[in-house]
Structures are given as C-alpha cells and as structure tokens.
Chains A and B, each alone.
Chain A
Amino acid sequence: MKNKEYDFGQKGTSRPMRGPGAHRMRIVEKPKDFKGTWLKLLKYSKKHIAAIILTLACAFFSTVLALIGPDRISKLTSIIEKGMGVGIDMDAIYTVGITLVVIYALSATLSAVQGFVMATVTQSITKMLRRDISTKINRLPIWFYNNTTTGDILSRVTNDVDTIGHTLNMSVGNLISSVTLMVGSLIMMIFTDVIMTATAIISTIIGFVLMRLITKNSQKYFKRQQHWLGQLNGHIEEMYAGHTVMKAYNGEDEAKATFDEMNRTLRDSAFKAQSLSGLMMPLMTFIGNLGYVAVCIVGAVLVMYGHISFGVIVAFMMYIKFFTQPLSQIAQAVQSMQSAAAAGERVFEFLESEEMEDESHKNNTGFEVRGKVEFEHVEFGYENSDKIVIKDFSARALPGQKIAIVGPTGAGKTTMVNLLMRFHEIKNGDIKIDGVSIKDLTREQVHEQFCMVLQDTWLFEGTVRENLIYCTENVTDEQMIRACKAVGIDHFVRTLSKGYDTVLDDHVNLSQGQKQQLTIARAMIADKPMLILDEATSSVDTRTELVIQNAMDELMKNRTSFVIAHRLSTIKNADLILVLRDGDIVESGTHEQLLDKGGFYAELYNSQFEERE
C-alpha cells in the first residue's frame, strides 16, 4: 500500500528460469527450523498421506527396477562373451531381453504414476495453502497489517507457495529415487564385486574432495553478485522513476557515474560467480568419468587375472553412473527442500498468526438502531505500542446528527473511525450504539450499522455493476440506477462502452472524482443506518468537488454521520465539531461557538484565508 509508486514488476516480469541454466545462479535460503517446518507441512497434508506414500513407493520400486537393469545387461554380455567361441545361446538372450523389456516398461510406468499422482497431490496442497492464506487475511486484526506490507503477503501467496509446490512435485520424489539409486547401486556393486566397488567409491570420493576444494568459496561470490545486482536494479528503478527530476536538475552525469561504477562492480563479480558455477557441471562430469576410467582399468586388470568376467566391467560402467549421478541430484533436492522449508516457515508463520477474538458465542441476529452513538472516556493505543493515541475521549451523537471531526494530520481523526468500526479494540472506556456497548456486538453487527466512504477510493477489476452492488444482496437495477443518479454518475456510466457492465480495468480511465462518486453510490446502495465519511482532500478538481459534495449531502440525509472534514461547508453546518489535536479533543461545539471562542479551531480555520487583503 505504502509502496505503490515503486511496486514495479508485479506484472509481466518473468520469473527466474528453470531447467538448464537454472543451476547457475542460486543462493540457498536457510530455514530456521528445517525439521519442524517439514513436519508441519506433512501434518498439513494429512489428507493426502496415502497418496504421498504411494508415490514414494512408486519412486522406490521404479528405481529398484532400474537398478536391476545393468545386472541383466551384464548377464547379457556374459552370455555373448561365453558364446563367442562356441556359438551364442540365443534362447538365453531372448529370455534376458524380454525380462529387460518388462523391467524397463514397469519402471517407466511406476515412474510415470509417481509423477502423475505427485503432481495431483502437490496442486491440491498448494491450492489448500493458498485458500487458507486468503481466508486468514480476513481473520487477522487490522493492526497486523501495520507491520506487514502488501508485497510481503502477496509473495507468501504466490512465490512461497510456488516454492513449496515445486519442491513437493520435483524434489521429494527425486530425493527418494536418488537415495534408492545410490544405495541400491552400492548394494548391487558390493554383490557383484568388492574390489571394483572399492575402486568406484574411492574414485568418487577423490572427485568430490576435488570439487569441494574448488567450490568451497562459491557461495560468497554468488552473494556478492546478487548484492550488486540488487544495488544496480535499485539504482535503475530509482533513476527511471525519477526521470523528470533527474533531467530537470541536470543529474544525468551523476546518475551515469553511479551506474557505471555499479555496473563495473557487477560485471566483475558476475564474471567470478558465473565462472565458478560454470565449473560445477564439468566437475560433476569429471567425477563420473573418473569413476568410469577407474572402473575400466581396475576391471581390465581383474579380467586379465581372471578374477571377474568381462560382463562385470560392463555392469560397473553403468553402476558407476548410477552411483555418481544421484549425488548432485541429492544435493539439489536437499537445497530445494531447504528453500521450501524457509518458504513454509513464512507461510505457516502467517497462518499461525493470532486471529481476532472469536465471536461465535455472541448473538448475531439483526440489530435495529435509531442512530445514537456515545463515546465514553475512550482511551486507545496501538496494539503493539505503549503510546496512547486517543486519551479520554467522550462525545455523544444523537440520531440524524452530523458530527465533523477536524484537526491537523496525525491528530487521530482516522483512528476515531477505526475505533467506531471496531477495526481496533479500545483499551479503556466504551463506545455505545443506542446504549449497547459495541463490545457486546459481533464485528459483523457493528459493520452492518455503518456505510463507510474512505478517502482512498477502492474499486476492483470487475464491472461497474459488481463494484456498485458489491456484496449487498437483492439489489434491483432500479435501486442501483437511482443511487447513481443521486451521486451524478449515472450519465457518465451510460457513456461507457457497455454501460453498467463495463469492466473497470487499466483501459478505463476514471478520474479521481468519478471513483469517489462510485464509492459513494456503493455506500448508498448498501443503505445502512449510519455513515462514516472520510472526505477526499485536494485531489479532485473544483467542479467535480461540487458534484461530490452534493452526493455526500444526499447520502447524509437522515443518517447519523461522522465526517472527517476538510471542507468548510461540512464543518459549518455540522451539529457538532470535534477538534482533535494529539489525540485529545481540545475543543468541541458548533462552528459559531468555536469561532467565538478564538481557540485552536479559529486559528486553523482562519489560516485558510491568510491571503485576504
């Protein structure tokens, strides 16, 4: 909300690439509690536990089958080898061949089933997570949002949930198959030949020690690259957004100099990081090759001495691949699971935040009001600070009266509205509607009493009709049009391409005033007994202002109204003016009374006309 102007990149920016190339730049986020978060995630997916076990079993058996492959191929080789001199036993070849076909087909099927089911389970879980976050948004107290940005919550709904989904879909299954593959190939190797196994393991260890030595410091370079990329992007964003100022103040040279400096640093750190990450793949291949060569040489020697048959070498050439390949996959899966845990932590942190007090025990039936509102010694401070914003506030509004709240910025005007709507809970004192404390009502009941029009007009992407009727039930077209006529927007709406069914999006250009008119009409359609109005400041032009003024007057008729006032006319004909300053009511009374008094209000009021000669 606060970040509106700099909120670029929500739309249309592409996300980081996956697939080849994705291994290049990555910084792994470390979760605080890896195990705990995964347990939570598992508990959360309780419903799908059977399906998850099924997929893991599929992954396991598919891998086991794949492992039997080399053994059979080795047998095949042996048969051929044996038959070289005397003629090959084609029947045996046929049997082994068919076995292999079956094994491969079964393995592929199991693997496909695993992928298919896991995809389904993953989507179901991510969908549930998103839904829960969305529901949670409306169950959290308003003050929660003072400490979080919109972007932060959005990133939990999309990025974090995506990360979890991606990990569930790819990495969990991968991890199982990789571990199975590695352990399985190890077992198969040991059974086939111990010396060869030792050769394979030693060569792999040597390879990994080499790799470790070289890439130990690579994270440092990634972080540095990421840091400078962030810095540079920040600078670009800032300069593009402030283009006019940069131009008007001849700041081009300064901006370009900063940019060049950052760009150069980024180039150098990117070179280092990219080179290092470019080493990873070749090194992995080398480890594979190293094992391959070692197995071939040692195997050849052993064959020479007649310890093993040639088929063993052939089998080991595959086992060694099976043995080294999963290492990088396991590393990747673990990394991915760590990122998912970090994302899960954020998601669960949000889902576990303390909700508003449960009100299901209250009687939530209709509550007819006449419109008397009393503030009794209200004291309020924000939930997470000791500072008192409203001190000992008392006032009374009679049915149909118009109460204007005035005062300088930061005096607590908006806070009053928030308290009245029970967006925040008061610390001491009481607010009563027709003699009933709002604490004894449910929040829904309180909300039902007030139309609310805020300074920030809030419209969403949808048709004009949807925006106007919103969630009010049983609204006829006639009622809707009557409201629009009353606020003077009917004619404009009819000029739109599809009238009331025009979709309001980026292509429809509404002025600030028209947006105001629409929100006023929406309040009018909702037709509630009382009114809270936060008048718009100077953002509309004067003619529109007149129209809106009339619309608001129309809305205030016969309703007890609380108006955060910026306009003279509102202030002047109010039944009661409350002058706020630093959370205190410093003065109250009608316009004339307050002017005569010559206090803070008079000073505030007169400051508008200082230019009068």
Chain B
Amino acid sequence: MFKLLGKFKKEDWAFTVLTIVLIVVQVWFDLKLPDYMKVVTSLVKTKQSTMNAILIAGGNMLLCALGSLLAQVATAICVSKIASNFSANLRGELFGKVQSFSMQEIGNFSTASLITRTTNDVTQVMMIIVMGLEVIVKAPIKALWAVFKIANTNWYWTYATLIAVGALVVIMLTCLSLATPKFKKLQKLTDNLNRVTRENLTGLRVVRAYNAEEYQEEKFEGANDELCRTHLFGTRVMSFMHPGTSLVNNGLTLAVYWIGAILISNAVNMADKLNLFSDMVVFVSYAMQVVMSFMSLIFVGNMLPRALVSAKRVNGVLDVKASIKDGEVSEIPEEHRGEIEFKNVSFKYPDAEDYVLENVSFSVRKGEKVAIIGATGCGKSTVVNLIPRFYDVTEGEVLVGGINVRNYAQKTLRNGIGYVSQRAILFSGTILSNVNYGSNGKDDADMADVISAVATAQATDFVEERVNKYEEYVAQGGMNLSGGQRQRISIARAVCRKPDIFIFDDSFSALDYKTDKALRRALDEKCKGATHVIVAQRIGTIRDADKIIVLDEGKVAGIGRHDQLMKNCEVYQNIALSQLSKEELA
C-alpha cells in the first residue's frame, strides 16, 4: 500500500496536507460546539445572565456547526480530487504496463485477472484512500482530542467512558471476528452456486436428454443449502451487534448522569454544583464522539485487509519487468523482405520442465506458401507466435528478413506481418474500423483498400447485405456476427495491411469447405508476392503448399511437399490416412 502512495504526485500531496488541515479544523469545530452548550447551560442556570449573552453563545454554536459543515465539504472535495486523480493515474499506469506485456506475462496473470486488477482493484484502492483520509485520519484525531477535553473534567466520567469503549470493542470484535470469515466464504459459495446453475444452463439439452432434471436440482439444493447456512450464521451473529452497541451507548449516557447525580450531591458549594451540572450535560456529547470514532475505526479496520489485497494485486502487475526488450533496427532490409528462418529453435515456458519446441530449423523464401501440420499440442501455434516475437525463443534464433527478431523495434517487425489468430478477435466499432485496424507504418488504408480486402476475405456478400454496409456496428468481441463471419473479417484485417508475411493460425476452421476454397484462391491471387505461413489441421487445406512442415511433439518430423511426405514421412501419412481414404489420396 505504501508503495502505491509513492505514486502520489506533488499535487496529490498538497491536497492531502490540505485535507488533514481541514479535518483538524472540522474536529475543532465539532468539539467546540459542546463547549458553547456548556456556556449556555451555565448562563441559563445563572440568575443574572442576559438574553443577549445566551443569543451570542447560541450564535457561536451555529457558527461552529456551519464551520464544521464547510470544513467537511472542503474535505470531501479535496478527497474526491485526490481519489479521482490517483485512480485515473493508477489505471493509466496499469493499462500502459499491460500493453507492454508479451503473451508470456499475460499468460502468467490470465486476462480475466488483469481486467479485474485494472478495474475493480483500482476502485478498491481508491476506496482505501477515501476511507483512509476520512476515517483513519479523522477518527483518532477526534477521539484523542475529545478524550483530552474530557479527561480534566472528572475521572469517574472518564472511567465510565473508557469502560464503555472497552465493552464496545469487545462486542464489535467478537461479532466481526465470528461473522467476517463466514462472509468471506460467501463469495466462494456463491461462485459454487453460480457454477452449478451455469452447468445446468449450458448443458440444458444434455440434462433433458438424460432426464436428469432432478439430479441437477438436488445438486443445486446442496449448494443452496450450504450458502444459506453460512449466510444465516453470519447475519445472525451480526444481528447482535447493533443492539449491543446501542446498549453500551445508552448505558454510558445513563452512567454519566447517575455518576453526575452522586457527584453533585456530594459537592459542597453551589458554584461547584453548577459547574458539575454543566459539565455533565456536555460530557455526554464528548463521550459520544469518542465512542463513535472507535466504532468507525473498527469498521474500517475490518474492511482494510480486503482493500490491502487489492493494493497488493495492483502492485503485482506494476512490478513486473517486461521480458521482451525492444531492439533498434527500424527497417526491414528491402532485398530480404518476406524471408523467415528458424535456426535450431527451442522453446519452453519459464517454469515448465518440458520443451514445447526442440531444435526446430527451417527457412522460407519470399512468396512461398508454408504449412505447418501436426497433432494438437505439438507446438504449431508456438512456431508461428515466435515470428512476430510474441514470445522470445529459449535457444536458437528466429530471423525475419535476415535479421534476428530480437534486434528489431517490435513495431517495425510487426508492420511487415499480417497475423490472423485461431479465435477471431474483433473490437467494438464498425466493420470498417476493424478491417482498417492498427497501423502498418505506412499511410492509412483508404476505402478502396478496405473494400478490396473484404472482397478477398469473401466477406463482401454479408457486409453489403447489412443496412450500414461497411459502417455496420460491430459489438464487443464481434458478438453480433457469426463465427465464420468474424473469421473472415479478421482475415480481411490482415489483408488490408498489405504485409510481407501472412500468418494464419488455423484461421479457416469456422468456414465451410466452399468458402474456405474460394478464400484461399483469392488469397493466392491477390497477395501473390507475400509469404504465407499456414497452421492447419486438415490435409485438404495445405496439400498444395510449397513446403509442409510436419511437427510431432515439438520436433520436426518432416519437411517437404505433399507427395514427398506421403512417401517418406510416417507421421504425415498417418494424419493423411485418418482424413482421407486411400484411393482419394492416390
């Protein structure tokens, strides 16, 4: 947490100091109010006091109330300023940090967790700052000051107050320490209930096909029961807290008056009696301030651990050092554009034992069409992810345009690459903004480029069918398009960049055979000069490739054309045989 406070700007600190001053002012006003009450009490009890004196004292009380209000309002504004500035800065810093991450770091955190850290956790941290300034700073100041003020009046009353505070702390801590663990568990149990319900909903057809409705309901009932039992315990315990604390408060008031009665009756002269009487009346106000301060401190203390966890999670992101360092080369050599070479490349994830890729070597010339094939988990995607340097190799080197990818400025490297992922990712916006996404270091694509790219991706039909054509709205994640449509738009996006190297990571899977065929034919025609790297599952997709790289458990099992591999590569033969019958292959 303190580390995060280090991110306070000068301006923030200035506001913080101001806030503390304002809080002191406010507390001063708050505690001054009962003083005037005391004055009023004495005036009333003294026979010779004038109306005017009472009104002046009353006016002073009103001024105190007003002063406190103004100080509080000013505090609120300062705190809001600090909180909104700080959270905006922190969010910005987190976002920037995550942008600099490679797939490696993203994978370490998981996307969902990063999202929570940037949104929810920042809000939580902001909350501690708000509470910290408003409660953690204010409560002790107020409590100490009030204690200081009443300590002199009479020790009996002070003891009563201390006992009350003690009782309060015991009651609250008991309730909170019993209930809080249960409430913490609730989140997990709610997740569990959610999971069971989700299960039923996603498997609706299976549940019904197996006549398993009752089975699911029983399961739900189990989760429901546990959730309710835990919740019940927590709320039952908490139901004692409020009556308990108000009993203490009321008891304190009574005690002060009772003690007061005894003290007054024991006092000798009238002046002392009068003094004690007015002290008694205001003492309750002070004592309540002390008690309330303690109560708010305990509440905040109870919430603090959760917020501190958020602070830790935020720091966890900010502390990561990006593993990929930018190189300096800002130009791909013209004569080698489109060339790729893998030299004895091995790759493993940092904490993993086994290599994903081992000693992979191959080279691709400009304009060649290369296919990578193999069973799931054999490292196909990893190979293509190394080309745009989403990861760094563990051993060996990857060359693009004859230069090691580590030496390029990442932007330069990626300007030359058109990457299409397995799962089509679209952003909210329009079809146009999606196809024309990003920058390739050259001029922005114009409308004609977009139209032509969409045509190449075989998406013209469904785009022009839409009411707004290229300006048609695309929902978050492209959810208003079908899987095949999303895939085609994401291919159009790559085509629109006019890259030297295309990477298709199993990007045709959601397309039916006919569209797939037309699309690949169009790609061959329109993007002739570019190098194509295609990851595929199906032999049909790749059998005309110039070079097929067969991967088996991270190692190269064969490289060659379809006919050659059919003759000399057993892994390839197996794949082929499982897909096509013998006579079709012949």
Contacts and interface: CB of A to CB of B under 8 A. Distances in A.
B61 A458 contact: no
A135 B81 contact: no
Contact of A158 (B190, B220, B411): B190
B5 interface: no
Contacts of A319: none
A560 B581 CA distance: 25
Contact of A541 (B204, B240, B375, B514): B375
Given A296-B40, A540-B376, A243 B261 contact: no
The B interface, classified by DSSP as helix, strand, loop or mixed, is: helix
Interface in B532-586: 537-538, 540, 543-544, 574-575, 578-581, 584
Contacts of A268: 84
Contacts of A474: none
Interface string B381-419: 000000010100000000000000000001100110101
Contacts of A604: 513-514
Interface in A39-92: 62, 66, 69, 73, 76-77, 79-81, 83-85, 87-88, 90
Contacts of A366: none
A303 interface: yes
A33 interface: no
A252 interface: yes
Contacts of B208: 138, 142, 421, 423, 443, 447
Interface residues of B, number: 171
B92 A263 contact: yes
A313 B40 CA distance: 11
A219 interface: no
Contacts of B359: none
Given A8-B112, A409-B484, A543 B58 contact: no
Contact of A14 (B135, B235, B306, B377): B306
Interface stretch (A122-130, A344-352, A577-585): A122-130
A81 B273 CA distance: 10
A81 B257 CA distance: 12
B140 interface: no
B495 to A, nearest CB: 12
Interface in B64-87: 64-66, 68-69, 72-73, 75-77, 79-81, 83-85, 87
Interface in A89-129: 90, 93, 97, 100-101, 104-105, 107-109, 111-112, 114-116, 118-120, 122-124, 126-127
Interface stretch (A188-196, A279-287, A371-379, A481-489): A279-287
Given A157-B197, A537-B509, A542-B574, A267 B84 contact: yes
A238 B209 contact: no
A328 interface: no
B65 A249 contact: no
Nearest to A155: B194
Given A88-B265, A100-B254, A153-B197, A251 B438 contact: yes
B253 interface: yes
A243 B212 CA distance: 41
B200 A138 contact: yes
Interface stretch (B43-51, B158-166, B331-339, B463-471): B43-51
A584 B361 CA distance: 52
Question: Number of contact residues on A: which range applies?
Answer: 35 or more
A139 to B, nearest CB: 8
A241 interface: yes
A115 B513 contact: no
Contact residues of A: prevailing secondary structure: helix
B58 A447 contact: no
Nearest to A458: B203
A472 to B, nearest CB: 8
A507 interface: no
Contact of B574 (A135, A240, A537, A543): A543
A9 B477 contact: no
Contacts of A553: none
B452 interface: no
B232 interface: yes
A15 B124 CA distance: 10
B76 A88 contact: no
B213 A138 contact: yes
A285 B69 contact: yes
A1 B84 contact: no
A538 B201 contact: no
Interface in B82-97: 83-85, 87-88, 91-92, 95-96
Given A150-B201, A243-B103, A271-B81, A278 B215 contact: no
B232 A119 contact: yes
A461 B193 CA distance: 12
For the complex of A and B, the 6 pairs showing the least CB-CB separation, nearest first, are: A115-B239, A278-B76, A249-B438, A297-B58, A282-B72, A274-B80
18 contacts: A20-B135, A107-B243, A119-B236, A127-B224, A157-B194, A238-B428, A241-B477, A243-B106, A244-B425, A254-B438, A270-B84, A275-B76, A278-B77, A281-B76, A283-B69, A296-B40, A444-B211, A540-B376
Given A300-B40, A538-B537, A543-B575, 8 more contacts: A20-B303, A79-B261, A104-B254, A267-B85, A293-B62, A293-B65, A544-B375, A545-B579
